[in-house]
Amino acid sequence: MIISVIGQGYVGLPIALSAASSGFDVKGIDNDQNKVANLNSGVTSIEDVDPRVISELISSGKYVATSDYSVVKKSAIVLICVPTPLDLDHKPDLSYLISAAKSAGKYLSRGSLVILESTVAPGTTRNIIVKILKQESGLEGSDFSVAYSPERIDPSSKEWNVKNTPKLVAGLDTEATKQAVDFYSNFIDNVVACASVEVAETAKLLENSFRLINISFVNELSIFCSKLDMDVNEVIDAASTKPYGFMPFYPSIGVGGHCIPVDPIYLSEKSSEVGTPIQIIDVAFKVNKSMPKYFVGKAEEKIGSLKNKKIIVIGVAYKPNIADVRETPVELLIMELMKKGAQVS
């Protein structure tokens, strides 16, 4: 069976390679010509992917990267794994997703299954993506199937990967759900069918909003503990002895990466749109945005004025041992230090 995976980044490439390793004939589509050329040479900048796996799958004919969307025409399944970031106004940006859906729709064949993996607000798959696919393909909604399955990728994790991370799936109808479950079950251990596409869309947003809110709370708690000359980590360790009803979160300079600073905005915007704003998300963002300034203040407490002081910042990625600096709070820390006149390396 031929499948196309649109987007060969940190989500699309691991899925494409997993599907190819399980026997599917995979076409990895990406608009970045340099990335396509590198992939076809067995080269990738994604740290969790072994270049040898890419080379082996290319040699076996099970995987090829391309910028040509016409491969969708012969694909039984089309996965859309493109970024859904925030724009300059910190609002949801669906431009990559809409572009990918339009490009795929032009070549969509009758009987195909389209699965969206990009993070979106509830209702996006049903009300936006299906409409685009119908318009571009000229097909009726009953001529193809659509499902949603949110990505769950933990970069650099030694414990969780595509195979052992439970996969949520929901189709627009029972047949689409069955098709999607059957597909993912070829290379994922635990595939969980949700009651509706909207449930799956919202579950993804809940997962990362939960983390944002709890990290925000423990960051404020750390400031409180510091004021009382307590070690917040000792407090967390003590609370963690409770065997039920508690999950430890740890303080930091803020949140970063492709999920925690982004996904909750999609939930917050949708909740405001329908008249039920989730206010705690907005508060959590304000707390985390204030953390870099707090640490600049701590530096001033220790060494006085920062003007012309030489300061080195060690670690700029949003989590340890990765090269990804998307949404890293360290960027704001560096900017705040420079505003104070520090010479930052």
Query: Catalytic amino acids?
Result: 259
Strands 2-6 and 77-80, by their bridges, are: parallel
Q: What is the Cα–Cα distance from 3 to 308, expressed in whole angstroms?
A: 57
DSSP secondary-structure letter at 172?
Answer: S
Task: Put residue 102 in one of left, alpha, beta given phi > 0 → left and psi -120 to 50 → alpha.
Answer: alpha
DSSP secondary-structure letter at 9?
Answer: S
Q: What is the Cα–Cα distance from 52 to 129, expressed in whole angstroms?
A: 35
Contacts of residue 290, defined as CB under 8 A and 6 or more positions apart, other chains included, come to none
Structure tokens at 19: 């599907």
Q: Virtual CA dihedral for 8, 13, 19, 23, nearest 10 degrees?
A: 90
- DSSP secondary structure string for all residues of 319-341: STT----TT-THHHHHHHHHHTT
Structure tokens at 217: 């709370």
C-alpha distances (whole Å) from 16 to each of 28, 84, 106 are 7, 19, 21
Q: What is the Cα–Cα distance from 78 to 272, expressed in whole angstroms?
A: 32
Closest CA to 256 of 210, 324, 173: 324
DSSP secondary-structure letter at 128?
Answer: I
Q: Report the Cα 332 to chain-centroid distance in Å.
A: 21
Q: How many CA atoms lie within 13 A of 55 on its CB side?
A: 7
Work out the number of other CB atoms within 10 angstroms of the CB of residue 197.
28
